[in-house]
Structure 1
Amino acid sequence: MLTIDGSNGGGQLLRTGLALAVRTDTPLRFESIRGSRPDPGLRPQHLAAVELLADYCDADLEGARLDSETLVFEPGESRTQTLSADIPTAGSATLLLDAVLPLATAIDAPLTVTATGGTDVKWSPPVAYVRHVKLPLLARFGLDAALERSSVGYYPAGGGEVTFRLSPSSLSPIELDERGSLAAVDVYSKASTDLEDSDVADRQADRASDRLDAADVPLGERAVEYVETDSTGSSITVRARYDRTLAGFDALGEPGRPSETVADMAVDDFERFHGTRAAVDRHMADQLLVFLALAGGRIAIPEATDHVRTHRSLLAEFGYDVSLESEGGTVTLTSSGDSAD
């Protein structure tokens, strides 16, 4: 049984570890889960990922309960093609994708996962980021996955629903060490219907577009929508399309935060990224690591965050070697992709 120290990691470490345990049929013991967090242990969204993958492979579980800091996960032999997860309140539904996507290169039949909870909430990728940045970028390297949004869930009530559809996939090496020229920047803005009279989604999109245009950035798609939700909220995602890659930058509305400020937050993140030589944004850097380990390749990232370093250590526990080099302000991750698979 492989033992993982989770004291320096968060939910991403748990989700990736579980996915790799299923892929490699490795019994796994997590200790000190999220041990450095103010609220250590399994939260609802983490427990949902554990139970989802346990249902998928008929795993034996110990410690699968809220606030538990220790978990034993022993994969079984059966496989299920249709799964569902209901995350209480506004726990992130999109983060479940990180526990499921790595299975796409190991399954031999399509897999469908329906999740309810928060779709546009703090500390997780909003639906627009997943649909317009993450999945299209991975599709370039052979991953066959799609996301459908039935409803949007904001904090605190949640109530959003998304469906992931994965098909058996074969990955080519992920070569993202250069991004090429900027082709266009797209703006996706949405808000709950109770904010339509205040034009919140329109104002977010207008502000982002105006700032980008003033900076001579080529503008691309623009989408504004108002959606029925259980809680009031708004969100914006700015997607940068380069010749060789995609990058995304998002922000959420909050009480007392003007719509223009929400847009500024996303555009500011884009401008900081555009001033670097990185090929993927800082959030994607962490999310791509497992695919780099599986397929091999090179990725230029903005910085070697604690998340990236901790994730590399986890991959090494499973036999995947991902090297990290920093030179001239550029951090590059490299993998041969030929170790544990």
Structure 2
Amino acid sequence: MVMVDGSMGGGQLVRTAATFAALTGESVEVTDVRGAREEAGLKRQHVAALEAVAAACDADLAGAEVGSERVAVDPGALDGGETRIDVGTAGSVPLILDAVLPLAARLEAPYRVTVSGGTDVQWAPPLDYLTEVKLPVLRAHGLDASVTPTRRGFYPAGGGAVTLTVRPSTLTALDLRERGRLRHLAVESAASESLREADVAARQADAAVEALQSTAAVPVLRESAYDETASSGSVVTVVAAYEHVRAGFSALGERGTPAEAVAEDAVESFRAFDRTAASTDAHLADQLLPYLALAGGVYTTPERTAHLETHADLLGTFGFDVDVADADGVVRVSR
């Protein structure tokens, strides 16, 4: 059994430990779950991720309940199937789906999971980052997966719903040493229907497009939409499509913050990244680690984050050694 010290990180350690238990067929036990956090133990979104992975491989779970500081996963065969999971809170749906996506590398049959919860919330990649940044990059390297959103969910009620279908896939190496030239930019802006009268989604999109057009001499695409949601909210994502890879930069609307200021936050994050020579943004660098572990490759990122290092260390526990090293003003990640 693989033993993991959960105090070294947060929910990511739990999700990835379950994912790699399913991928390798090795049982795993995570102790002192989120032990360094103010509220230790599993939260509902962590339990939901465990359930999503377990359903794909008929795993036995022990301790998979809210508040538990120890959880064990004993996986079976990755036979796929179909399941539905309701987080019951605004816990991040994209993070739960992140735990499922790598299973494609070992699946014997397709697996479909519908998750209800928060699609666009703090401390997690928004839905548009998953669909417009991460998935296109992974599809270019062999992943066969599709995402069908039904509705968005903002904090605190959540209530969003997304269906992910993953199919048996042969992953190819992530050869992303360089990002190449910037081909185009895209702005994805969304807001609750209750904010339509204030033109929130349109204002976010317009402000972002205007700022980007003064920043880069490439086409800037624009999409804005309104959705019926249980709680009011908004989100804007700037997608940078480079020659070899994509990057994404998002901001969530907050009460009292003008839509234009929300857009500027996302645009400024893009500007800061574009000034570097890195091939992947910091979030993608972390999220690509499971695929790097499975298929090999190399990419660079602007900074060495605690998430990146903790994630790499965990993969080493399963026998997948990933090298994280400083190199010419960027951080090189390779296997």
What residue in structure 2 maps to residue 122 of structure 1?
122
1:285 equivalent to 2:285? Answer yes
CA gap of 1:78–1:130, structure 2 versus 1, over 3 A, is: closer
For residue 102 of structure 1, what is the amino acid of its counterpart? P
What residue in structure 2 maps to residue 230 of structure 1?
230
CA apart distance, 1:84: 1.5
Calculate the TM-score normalised by the size of structure 1. 0.96
What residue in structure 1 maps to residue 20 of structure 2?
20
8 Å contact kept, 1:209–1:219: no
What residue in structure 2 maps to residue 79 of structure 1?
79
8 Å contact kept, 1:12–1:98: no
Aligned to 1:198, the other structure's residue is in SS state: coil
For residue 150 of structure 2, what is the amino acid of its counterpart? S
CA apart distance, 1:78: 6.9
What residue in structure 2 maps to residue 200 of structure 1?
200
For residue 307 of structure 1, what is the amino acid of its counterpart? H
- Spell out, residue by residue over 1:8-59, the C-alpha distance to the aligned partner (whole angstroms, 9 max, x if none): 2111121111011011111111011111111111001001111222233222
What residue in structure 1 maps to residue 89 of structure 2?
89
What residue in structure 1 maps to residue 246 of structure 2?
246
1:143-222 alignment, distance < 5 Å: 143-222=143-222
Alpha-carbon distance between aligned partners in 1 of 2:276 and 2:252, rounded to the nearest angstrom: 24
8 Å contact kept, 1:279–1:301: yes
- Spell out, residue by residue over 1:295-319, the C-alpha distance to the aligned partner (whole angstroms, 9 max, x if none): 0010111111111111111111111
Alpha-carbon distance between aligned partners in 2 of 1:226 and 1:55, rounded to the nearest angstrom: 33
For residue 4 of structure 1, what is the amino acid of its counterpart? V
What residue in structure 1 maps to residue 304 of structure 2?
304
Aligned to 2:108, the other structure's residue is in SS state: coil
Alpha-carbon distance between aligned partners in 2 of 1:203 and 1:78, rounded to the nearest angstrom: 45
CA apart distance, 1:193: 0.9
What residue in structure 2 maps to residue 6 of structure 1?
6
For residue 164 of structure 1, what is the amino acid of its counterpart? L
- Spell out, residue by residue over 1:71-103, the C-alpha distance to the aligned partner (whole angstroms, 9 max, x if none): 111113473410211001211111111111111
Alpha-carbon distance between aligned partners in 1 of 2:78 and 2:222, rounded to the nearest angstrom: 44
Aligned to 2:254, the other structure's residue is in SS state: coil
Aligned to 2:241, the other structure's residue is in SS state: strand
For residue 174 of structure 2, what is the amino acid of its counterpart? I
8 Å contact kept, 1:212–1:219: no
What residue in structure 2 maps to residue 339 of structure 1?
none
8 Å contact kept, 1:133–1:239: yes
For residue 301 of structure 2, what is the amino acid of its counterpart? I
CA apart distance, 1:261: 1.0
CA apart distance, 1:259: 0.4
Q: Number of aligned residue pairs: give it.
A: 335
1:100-111 alignment, distance < 5 Å: 100-111=100-111
For residue 300 of structure 1, what is the amino acid of its counterpart? T
What residue in structure 1 maps to residue 50 of structure 2?
50
Alpha-carbon distance between aligned partners in 2 of 1:217 and 1:16, rounded to the nearest angstrom: 39
8 Å contact kept, 1:7–1:32: yes
For residue 9 of structure 1, what is the amino acid of its counterpart? G
Aligned to 2:36, the other structure's residue is in SS state: coil
For residue 274 of structure 2, what is the amino acid of its counterpart? H
Aligned to 2:300, the other structure's residue is in SS state: strand
Structure 2: gaps of 5 or more residues:
none
1:121-140 alignment, distance < 5 Å: 121-140=121-140
Alpha-carbon distance between aligned partners in 2 of 1:188 and 1:246, rounded to the nearest angstrom: 14
8 Å contact kept, 2:149–2:162: yes
Structure 1: gaps of 5 or more residues:
336-341
Alpha-carbon distance between aligned partners in 2 of 1:315 and 1:216, rounded to the nearest angstrom: 38
Alpha-carbon distance between aligned partners in 1 of 2:189 and 2:263, rounded to the nearest angstrom: 9
For residue 12 of structure 1, what is the amino acid of its counterpart? Q
Aligned to 1:186, the other structure's residue is in SS state: strand
For residue 106 of structure 2, what is the amino acid of its counterpart? A
- Spell out, residue by residue over 1:269-310, the C-alpha distance to the aligned partner (whole angstroms, 9 max, x if none): 101100111111111111000100100010111111111111
8 Å contact kept, 1:119–1:153: yes
Alpha-carbon distance between aligned partners in 2 of 1:277 and 1:320, rounded to the nearest angstrom: 27
Aligned to 2:7, the other structure's residue is in SS state: coil
Alpha-carbon distance between aligned partners in 1 of 2:3 and 2:273, rounded to the nearest angstrom: 36
8 Å contact kept, 1:185–1:240: yes
